[in-house]
Every structure is written in structure tokens, then in C-alpha cells.
Amino acid sequence: MTDDAKQQVMLAHAAETMAAARNRLYAAKFQREGRPRLARTFTALALAEEFHAQRMLMHLRGRMQDGDAYLEALRAGKQKDAAAGFGRIAAALAAMGKHTMAEAFEQFAQVAGNHLGLIDGAAAEAAADPSNLYVCKVCGFIAADQPPDKCPVCGAVAKKFVAAQD
């Protein structure tokens, strides 16, 4: 597969994944509004798009770039997001009076910094390798060894953390 074709498949995967997530949100909205047929239809659409995305990933297996090159590209992206990327979006949203959204993007920046630290630690294959990782279902913060009593980013309680499975 050429690099261009691989890029197109990756973009298609991202688009299907986003469409599935969006359709799940609308399914929940229609369910809350008492419109079960639309809710079921949008749930089915989301499932179909998730299946498409899964099949696209199957086609990409074994055709991905070198792991170390990806690791460096991911690290650079997380570093940008933590340093300024999400912060600029948060500032722009705050200036427009969208304070709740601005706060979410500030949290995204904090979580990107958390992810960057995990990437750096995993890349160094540190001796203090955590036996378990726990992900906050509210903001995406990742805790090592055990879930904290309270998420340091969003304040979620420990039961909002799920164990990352291999």
C-alpha cells in the first residue's frame, strides 16, 4: 500500500469513528426526547460505522509505519497539545463566552501532558513499570498502579476509572 493510500485509509477510519460517536450521541438524544425509532436507527448507524472502522484497521495491520517513528510523531503531537494547542482553543472559547467548553479544552491540555509523561516513560521502558493503568472515563486522565480517590484533572471519583486491558 502506498503512503498516500495508507493516509486515505487512516483518514477514512477517523471519519467513520467520528461519525459513529456522533450518531451514538444523537441516538441518546432521541431516546431522551422519547423518539425510540430514531434512537434505534442512529444506534444501528453507529454500530455499522464502528464495524467499518474496525475493518479499516484490519486492512492497516502490518502496513503501518515503524513503531519508533510513530512514537516520536505521537510524542510531538501530545507535546504540542499540552504546551499550546488545546490552550489556544480554550482561550478562544473563553473569549467567546463559551466557558464550559474552554474548561474542557484546558482539561484536554492537562490530560495531553499526562499522556506525554506516560509515552516518555513507556519509551524509556522504565524499571518502575506500572502493573495496571486506569483511565478516567470523564476526562481521559491515565493513572498508574491504582485509580486515585479523585481525578487530578476533572475531580471524578475513583469509580469513574476503568482498568486498561491488554
Judge whether residue 160 has pLDDT over 90. Answer: yes
> Is 54 found in the same domain as 71?
no
> Is 138 found in the same domain as 120?
no
Domain boundary (14, 34, 60) is at 60
Domain boundary (37, 60, 83) is at 60
> Is 121 found in the same domain as 74?
yes
* 76 exposure class (CB count in 10 Å sphere: 0-12, 13-18, 19+): exposed
Q: What is the mean pLDDT of residues 93-117?
A: 89
Q: What is the mean pLDDT of residues 145-149?
A: 92
88-102, 128-142, 146-160: least confident range: 128-142
Domain encompassing residue 159: 130-166
Judge whether residue 125 has pLDDT over 80. Answer: no
The structural domain count of the chain equals 3
> Is 52 found in the same domain as 93?
no
pLDDT above 90 coverage of the chain, percent: 27
User: Residue 79: its pLDDT value, please?
Assistant: 85
User: Residue 127: its pLDDT value, please?
Assistant: 45
Please report, for the domain that includes residue 156, its CATH number: 2.20.28
Judge whether residue 46 has pLDDT over 50. Answer: yes
Task: Give Cβ neighbours of residue 46 (< 8 Å, ≥ 6 apart).
Answer: 19, 20, 21, 23, 24, 27
